[in-house]
A and B are shown apart, each in its own frame.
Chain A
Amino acid sequence: DGGITQSPKYLFRKEGQNVTLSCEQNLNHDAMYWYRQDPGQGLRLIYYSQIVNDFQKGDIAEGYSVSREKKESFPLTVTSAQKNPTAFYLCASSNTGFTEAFFGQGTRLTVV
């Protein structure tokens, strides 16, 4: 089945630890995105990538890092510098040319 897979679905970490969220797609999409959603809020863009080995900061990139070594994969690391990391994290992908983006199931990160 084609789609976007995020793992894990739920993730718990202690404060001060870095954590990496996985996002894999088999849709052959060039563009990939990471968003953060807090309760009752819309989606805020963390990072996006239009091609392999290139990515751009979104609106709330501080405390996060990404890599895009393969077209299929766009992992997000939440570092200890992120002051309030508990949130719902969503990965999306799309073809280039301003076309529709499709989302994975999301990862709920809780930092205690």
Chain B
Amino acid sequence: QKEVEQNSGPLSVPEGAIASLNCTYSDRVSQSFFWYRQYSGKSPELIMSIYSNGDKEDGRFTAQLNKASQYVSLLIRDSQPSDSATYLCAATQGGSEKLVFGKGMKLTVNP
């Protein structure tokens, strides 16, 4: 099992819809979880971090963490064409600073 797994995608949603992105992780002692957005040809930019069980909201973005089930999700409300990008899930591993990423999910928001 890979350390961090994301649905292979791609995901396509209409403008204004909710986009849901999911991620699972294998290391039960992982402590920190992150969502990054990467536009084509650019470097990843951090959009959300979450460290404890539950929901964390920031504008149109909501991150959800369930440590018992070992999954993290990202919801994007009122999706905009500018949200079209690849979304990467990341987690720290083994109680260390080792930060590993999933393969990413490409999201397209259609006008």
Contacts and interface: CB of A to CB of B under 8 A. Distances in A.
Q: Is the interface of A mostly helix, strand, loop or mixed?
A: strand
Interface residues of B, number: 23
B97 A98 contact: yes
B34 A101 contact: yes
B43 A101 contact: no
A40 B110 CA distance: 21
B25 to A, nearest CB: 13
A48 B92 CA distance: 12
Contacts of A33: 99
B32 interface: yes
A42 B103 contact: yes
A94 B103 CA distance: 21
Contacts of B103: 41-42
Q: Which 6 A-B pairs have the closest CB atoms?
A: A98-B32, A42-B103, A43-B101, A103-B43, A31-B97, A42-B104
6 contacts: A45-B99, A48-B98, A58-B98, A96-B97, A98-B51, A98-B97
